[in-house]
Amino acid sequence: MKLKLPIIFLLLVLIPQISYSQKKHNSPLSGDWESVVLSNSRGIMMKFNPDSTFTFQIVLAADYSYKIIGNKMITKYKNDNSGKVFIDTSKIEIKKDTLISTFKRNGKDEVTTMIKIPGKNKPSKSIVGEYTWKYPNDHIAYSKFTKDGKWLFRLPIQTTNGKYHIIDSVVTFNYTGSDTLVDKKKFWIKKNILILTDVKSGREDMYRKVDYFLDDKK
């Protein structure tokens, strides 16, 4: 018994540490990613957490260019599928961390109120920054205005959660609420590019690392 006591003691000390290391790990996938290629202005955003959980979102995505002239904002968007170019003009007003945009559609004013994301913006009177607001469908939309005249728009329309684990270069996704739905994909990462290849179908999808991801709270 005297020989077993130290072993039991060590197990009691080490087991919690082993358990913790499994829950918290430095995964090569950790962070936020989004589709490089869109289909009908739709893409996928993915968030991999250090506790082995993930969130996938189907999002509406559009990258505009914008120009500010006085209190007017002129935006330009080219649809990748049709090649059509859309140019719109709206009136804007900036109040501290709030951007109010008024766009006239069919003779009526459509007002959008965007709020800068706390902790992600430097104090500024310009439009540059990251914003969220409630979209007409009650989902939370995201906008990012950059200094070089780009406006990124993202709107989550469907969210899926689950857990993932990695063995060698294969990641397995287990979806919350399903005991049978499991995806296995080979992954390849170089700098800020991630390629996932479905083990069964061989389909490849490319993603880029980003510094934004939305909690789609209604």
Alpha carbon of residue 206 to chain centroid: 14
> What pLDDT is attached to residue 93?
94
Q: In this model, does residue 218 exceed pLDDT 90?
A: no
C-alpha torsion sign, points 74, 77, 78, 82: negative
Position with higher pLDDT, 18 vs 161: 161
Q: Determine the distance from the C-alpha atom of residue 139 to the mean position of all C-alpha atoms in its chain, rounded to a whole number.
A: 14
**pLDDT value for 83:** 80
In the chain, what are the domain boundaries?
63-157
- Position 25 scores a pLDDT of 56
Average pLDDT over residues 125-153: 90
Percent of the chain at pLDDT > 90 equals: 61
Least confident of 119-123, 182-186, 195-199, 207-211: 119-123
pLDDT (tens digit, 9 = 90+) per residue, 10-65?
Answer: 333 333 333 333 345 578 999 999 999 988 889 999 999 999 999 999 999 999 99
Average pLDDT over every residue of 123-151: 89
Q: Are 151 and 165 in contact (CB under 8 A)?
A: no
